[in-house]
Amino acid sequence: MMTPVKGLILCLMIDFLPASFGDKHSLLYLYTIQSKNSYYHLYDCTAVTLLNDRQIDFYNSSSDKPRTAKQNWLKNISESDWKTSTGKLQNDRQLLNKLLDIQMDESGHSQSDGHVLQWRHGCEGEQSSDGSLTVLNSINEFGYDGEDLIQFNCTSKTWITPEEKKNREREEKWSKINQYTAVRKCDQCVKMLKMYLKYKTSEQYRTTDIAGSQTPPDVHMFAKKSVKDSGNLTLTCLITGFYPKDVKMSLRKFTTSFPEHLITSSGIRPNDDETYQLRKSVEIQEDDPSDYDCYVSHSSLTEPVIKQWDGRCTDCPDVSHGLFIIVVLSGFVVVLWSMMVCLLIVKTRE
């Protein structure tokens, strides 16, 4: 049983242990199928495959050459692996074709109206030094005509509709028509991710050896006037240009991290040069004299970077400039008043 003392010791150990980073990889498929301008219920389908947040191919069922490689390294994979990965896209198109018919029927929609079914499914795993892959999470969710429809939980193996539009009948229906396929897709994604990871090349990654390619983040810290509260500032830490993706960043006051519920985060996003960026912000009082900093830990760094906020606000009025104006105006008023007094004296003597 975890006692309060043991819990405190454990928390302290976690805070002071150096951050460890695994070699994480992700595979994501984005499908769109639409009924408009289709014949005999054979619908046009397009798909994009993303490996580690980067597009590697494009699929269009209506094209003479449906699949196009978007990275040169993909052209060098074995013929059997190319057929396997292409076959997956083609089979998924057939599945979506069936599901779109089912959803249009449930919604009372006709084929001629033009409706869209979207599917996003993928997985993320952590690869160890021996090449084994540990699955971290999976995604399998559908949207219909721009709204969330249903998603499959690969862990619990259950279908879930959005809370605001809970639909038990739909969940039961999809469990009957698509349960086996959904479970198989969870496993298939992991197999496909392992297959692609066999083809690590300098063009896919930023350098020839991903294990040795580490780029440290550029750390920037600044504050602007808050749009929520006129008496507050929005303090932001921006880190960019780092690789690999995993990073630890926190905004701190007197070296104590702000709780997550006070933080606004952009999430880790890709840059055009295959590096990544992350932005976090917190609201602080404009006149607060506390010391604020940004703490960043990354596998490319021998020790964490701590960027101190200089206390400046980028879009606040310049106090010194305002003071100068006040002094000048005050002087002008004094001179003007003195002139008026002199004129009165002259008038009186006359």
Q: Which of 197, 226, 254 is the last residue of a domain?
A: 197
Is the residue at 316 inside a domain? no
Claim to verify: residue 69 and residue 111 sit in the same structural domain: yes
- Copy the structure tokens of residue 248: 């630890």
Is the residue at 325 inside a domain? no
CATH number at residue 302: 2.60.40.10
Is the residue at 276 inside a domain? yes
What are the residues whose beta carbons fall under 8 Å from the beta carbon of 54, sequence distance 6 or more? 71, 204, 270, 274
Claim to verify: residue 88 and residue 33 sit in the same structural domain: yes
**Across 55-83, average pLDDT:** 89
Claim to verify: residue 270 and residue 158 sit in the same structural domain: no
Q: Which of 197, 230, 259 is the last residue of a domain?
A: 197
Claim to verify: residue 301 and residue 190 sit in the same structural domain: no
Claim to verify: residue 236 and residue 192 sit in the same structural domain: no
Claim to verify: residue 55 and residue 166 sit in the same structural domain: yes
Residue 80, number of CB atoms within 10 A of its CB: 9
pTM over 0.75: no
- Copy the structure tokens of residue 139: 């995604």
- Residue 14 CA to residue 16 CA, distance in Å, equals 6
Claim to verify: residue 241 and residue 295 sit in the same structural domain: yes
**Across 72-79, average pLDDT:** 87
- Residue 315 CA to residue 313 CA, distance in Å, equals 6
Please check the confidence at residue 345 and state whether its pLDDT lies above 90.
no
Claim to verify: residue 238 and residue 281 sit in the same structural domain: yes
Is the residue at 5 inside a domain? no
Q: Which of 197, 228, 263 is the last residue of a domain?
A: 197
Return the percentage of the chain with pLDDT > 90, whole number: 50
CATH number at residue 31: 3.30.500.10
pLDDT band at 329 (very low <50, low <70, confident <90, very high): low
Claim to verify: residue 61 and residue 167 sit in the same structural domain: yes
Which residue did the predictor score with more confidence, 323 or 343? 343
pLDDT band at 272 (very low <50, low <70, confident <90, very high): low
In 3D space, the residue among 236, 267, 272 whose CA is nearest the CA of residue 251 turns out to be 236
Claim to verify: residue 152 and residue 262 sit in the same structural domain: no
pLDDT at 263: 94
What are the residues whose beta carbons fall under 8 Å from the beta carbon of 89, sequence distance 6 or more? 29, 47, 49, 59, 66, 67
Is the residue at 296 inside a domain? yes
Is the residue at 257 inside a domain? yes
- Count of structural domains, the chain: 2
Please check the confidence at residue 344 and state whether its pLDDT lies above 90.
no
Please check the confidence at residue 142 and state whether its pLDDT lies above 70.
yes
Q: How far is CA 18 from the centre of its chain?
A: 24
Is the residue at 88 inside a domain? yes
Claim to verify: residue 32 and residue 181 sit in the same structural domain: yes
**Across 194-206, average pLDDT:** 68
pLDDT band at 292 (very low <50, low <70, confident <90, very high): very high
Please check the confidence at residue 221 and state whether its pLDDT lies above 80.
yes
Please check the confidence at residue 116 and state whether its pLDDT lies above 50.
yes
Question: Is the separation of the CB atoms in 143 and 117 below 8 Å?
Answer: yes
Print the domain residue range for 43: 20-197
Please check the confidence at residue 19 and state whether its pLDDT lies above 70.
no
Claim to verify: residue 61 and residue 127 sit in the same structural domain: yes
Please check the confidence at residue 233 and state whether its pLDDT lies above 70.
yes
Is the residue at 205 inside a domain? no
